[in-house]
């Protein structure tokens, strides 16, 4: 008998295979989604969304990174990218651009980020 402080054992019924979530697709229909890409829900209603797309929509009420979505929902990053791609195409979420080439980034911004990390 498990103790009160041990995690409950799962019967496996709460796990959905990633290929079911993505209808067998392994890549998003839009390019440029990286693990640090920020996603934000558009509008107040995720009408018509169910399962993982609805969960992503709700989680992204504030800008949230792909990696964070993956961690919160316990689904693989590749699966999140496919779901996010579908949500972008349907107009439910927006994608914030990420810096493709760090050499083009604002040096002062990078210095502030480094200073902030050092202060942690």
pLDDT confidence tier of residue 13, bands split at 50, 70 and 90: very low
Map tokens 């980020």 to a residue: 113
* pLDDT over 60 at 29, yes or no: yes
The yes-or-no verdict on residue 7 having pLDDT over 60 is: no
- The tens digit of pLDDT for each residue in 51-101 reads 888 899 999 999 999 999 999 988 888 889 999 998 999 999 999 877 666
Question: Which residues are within 8 A (CB) of 27 and not within 5 positions of it... i.e. 6 or more apart?
Answer: 78, 81, 82
What CA–CA distances, in Å, run from 118 to 36, 103, 109, 112, 113?
20, 21, 14, 10, 9
Sheet arrangement for strand 38-41: 64-65, 38-41, 93-96
Is this model's pTM higher than 0.75 or not? no
């Amino acid at each position: 008998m498990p103790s009160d402080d041990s995690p409950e054992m799962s019967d496996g019924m709460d796990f959905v295979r990633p290929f079911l979530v993505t209808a067998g697709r392994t890549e998003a229909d839009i390019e440029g989604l990286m693990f640090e890409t920020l996603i934000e829900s558009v509008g107040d209603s995720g009408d018509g969304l169910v399962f993982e797309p609805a969960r992503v929509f709700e989680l992204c009420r504030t800008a949230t990174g792909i990696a964070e979505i993956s961690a919160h929902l316990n689904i693989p990053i590749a699966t999140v990218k496919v779901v996010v791609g579908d949500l972008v195409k349907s107009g439910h979420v927006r994608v914030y651009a990420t810096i493709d080439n760090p050499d083009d980034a604002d040096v002062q911004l990078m210095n502030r980020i480094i200073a902030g990390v050092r202060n942690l």
